[in-house]
Amino acid sequence: MKKKLSIILSGTLILGGLLAGCGGDKTPEANDANKPQTEAPAGDVKVGEYKDGTYFAQGEMNEKSGWQSNVTLKVESGKITDVDWNATNIKAGPDKKTVSESGEYGMKAGGAQAEWHEQAEKAEQFLIEKQDPKAITVNDEGKTDAISGVSISVDEFAELAQKALQAGPTEAGPYKDGAYHAEGEMDANSGWKSTVDLTVVNGKVVAAYFSGVNAAGEDKQDFSKEGKYGMKEKGGAQAEWHEQVQKAQQFFLENQGVGSVSFNDEGKTDGISGVSIGVQEYFKLAEKALEGAK
């Protein structure tokens, strides 16, 4: 896995995206002792009576930070025995804990009392001790005084833990957790080399990023978002390149692969609504990336 991570982190644009995603937590935390505390949402599952198994819940993508939180719980003999609070990046690749552990997230450099993964681990341990997400009381900013040494927002952690318990146990997927990367050959005509980055949690792909890189090291999705690709303006396309490839990404996540979609000789498909570009190579690269996850 370390080899896979080193490949991903070597890309300056992807690394830049990861660093940009952590800006919100770099500001030194304010003293919230006098702010009102509220309970996390109540659930209909009883403490100590959880069904044995693995539980998982994922939040919404935070477009500002670039991170999407998730919580994985393990229950044995009716009690929570293991908690993993983490997040995946908008560009997939290494998870938030891995980025924090490597020093790239840099909360202490921004004035925080501890790195993100260190604070997350304290929140996880608190939940194991209390066995109840409702024990994590939060203020209007989503922060808590209930957990010593934790100044980051924990409201989403509590909400996702409760959501996971309410949903019940889920089966783990077939892959090893981690970050996976694959890339194609440089296309002499287009000047782009296709790239795929995936993140696996609880054995399933929970984040995917289909993009590309040119000789200048520019990221193809970013290039399109900035209006430089100009598919609508220059070619009369129904949507810009990044908008279409993101639909292919979402299809991949929902189906955990290509599903029943077929492709023509140009690598295009009628099976994904709103996608007229060739995307077959991305599904092949995703399959290649996951070879190391089996």
| Digit-coded pLDDT (tens) for 213-270 | 999 999 999 999 999 998 988 888 889 999 999 999 999 999 999 999 999 999 999 9
pLDDT in tens, 47-69: 878 999 999 999 999 999 999 99
At residue 29, the pLDDT reads: 39
Rounded-to-integer distance, Cα 224 and Cα 165, Å: 40
75: Cβ contacts below 8 Å, ≥ 6 apart = 50, 51, 52, 53, 54, 55, 81, 169
pLDDT in tens, 69-106: 999 999 999 999 999 999 999 999 999 999 999 999 99
**pLDDT band for position 12 (50/70/90)?**
very low
Is the predicted pLDDT of residue 28 greater than 70, yes or no?
no
Rounded-to-integer distance, Cα 33 and Cα 31, Å: 6
pLDDT in tens, 150-197: 999 999 999 999 999 999 999 999 999 999 999 999 999 999 999 999
Query: What average pLDDT does range 30-55 have in this prediction?
Result: 62
Percent of the chain with pLDDT over 90: 80
Set out the domains of the chain in order of their start, with CATH numbers. Answer: 2-167 (3.90.1010.20), 178-293 (3.90.1010.20)
Give the range with max mean pLDDT: 6-10, 133-137, 229-233.
133-137
At residue 44, the pLDDT reads: 66
At residue 233, the pLDDT reads: 84
